[in-house]
């Protein structure tokens, strides 16, 4: 997911009112501060089919999805954050609407470090999915147990989230990795490739998968990257 400048994140946090702060969850994991905005839970419930829940079992399954999504995305962001800390830089994790990011001081990572930090998120998340698939083949979970949909959701979210994020569309992880590979002099090509891939995925997502949410995100990314490409071409 996008990794904006921590300075932007900090000024945004300072502008929040006390009532909004009260609705947020703060804790530390492995010494890394974590902040969860209320919109993270709301958008996860939306992705998990919260709008179509019609009985108490549906609602329980949406909550199971939200919890599995939370674990999976936390693991993804911890991958980024632990890599940032490995390079001796301070970091914190924020979970927000439709995802999250791990912050780091701007301009302190070189291209190789930036690539490693970005790749670490989806890699750790995919490793979690593989581990769970192996585990599921070797243990038996009683039918009807909520543990079964939880583990299935955890595997599914981890694979989809990691693969989607590796698409070369800036500012997703794949776009950030492409930017690290091409270097600062070829940034406009990062944006051009992002536009082409985002348009292709947006159209394919709508007609092949029947999902509108993915297409909306891709249209937004395509527009942002087109603007950035034109600005960089001047």
Binding region for Zn ion (CB under 5 A): 1, 121, 173
Distance CA 146, CA 156 (A): 15
| Closer Cβ to Zn ion, 64 or 72, answer by number | 72
Give the residue carrying structure tokens 């690539």: 115
We find the least distance from the C-beta atom of residue 115 to Zn ion, in angstroms, to be: 13
We find the least distance from the C-beta atom of residue 22 to Zn ion, in angstroms, to be: 28
We find the least distance from the C-beta atom of residue 229 to Zn ion, in angstroms, to be: 22
| Closer Cβ to Zn ion, 62 or 73, answer by number | 73
Buried b (16+ CB within 10 A) or exposed e, 134-164: eeeeeeeeeeeeeeeebbbbbbbbbbebbeb
Nearest residue relative to Zn ion (C-beta): 121
| Closer Cβ to Zn ion, 37 or 173, answer by number | 173
Comparing C-alpha atoms, which of 229, 233, 164 is closest to residue 193? 229
Bridge partners of 26? 35
Task: Characterize the bridge pairing of strands 99-102 and 93-96.
Answer: antiparallel
Quick one: angle between helices 56-86 and 38-47, nearest 10? 120
Give the CA distances from residue 143 to residues 58, 59, 146, 157, in Å, rounded to whole numbers and listed in that order. 17, 19, 9, 21
| Closer Cβ to Zn ion, 1 or 32, answer by number | 1
We find the least distance from the C-beta atom of residue 42 to Zn ion, in angstroms, to be: 20
Distance CA 108, CA 91 (A): 12
| Closer Cβ to Zn ion, 63 or 81, answer by number | 81
| Closer Cβ to Zn ion, 63 or 75, answer by number | 75
We find the least distance from the C-beta atom of residue 161 to Zn ion, in angstroms, to be: 9
Comparing C-alpha atoms, which of 105, 95, 97, 79 is closest to residue 35? 95
Q: CB count, 10 Å around CB of 88?
A: 7
We find the least distance from the C-beta atom of residue 162 to Zn ion, in angstroms, to be: 9
Per the structure block, which two tokens stand in for 38? 């209320």
């Amino acid at each position: 997911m996008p990794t904006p400048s921590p300075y932007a994140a900090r000024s945004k946090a300072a502008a929040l009112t006390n009532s909004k702060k009260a609705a947020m969850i703060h804790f530390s994991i492995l010494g890394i501060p974590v902040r969860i905005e209320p919109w993270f839970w709301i958008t996860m419930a939306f992705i998990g089919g919260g709008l179509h829940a019609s009985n108490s079992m549906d609602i329980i399954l949406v909550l199971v999805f939200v919890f599995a999504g939370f674990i999976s995305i936390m693991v993804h962001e911890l991958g980024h954050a632990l890599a940032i800390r490995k390079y001796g830089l301070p970091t914190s994790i924020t979970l927000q609407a439709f995802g999250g990011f791990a912050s780091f001081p701007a301009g302190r990572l070189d291209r190789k470090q930036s690539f490693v930090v970005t790749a670490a998120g989806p890699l750790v998340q995919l490793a979690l999915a593989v581990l769970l698939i192996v585990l599921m083949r070797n243990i038996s979970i009683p039918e009807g147990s909520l543990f079964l949909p939880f583990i299935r959701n955890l595997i599914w979210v981890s694979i989809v989230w990691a693969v989607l994020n590796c698409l070369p569309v800036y500012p997703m992880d794949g776009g950030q990795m492409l930017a690290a590979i091409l270097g600062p002099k070829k940034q406009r090509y990062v944006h051009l490739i992002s536009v082409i891939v985002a348009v292709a995925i947006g159209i394919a997502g709508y007609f092949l998968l029947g999902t509108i949410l993915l297409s909306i995100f891709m249209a937004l990314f395509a527009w942002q990257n087109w603007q950035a490409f034109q600005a960089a071409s001047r």
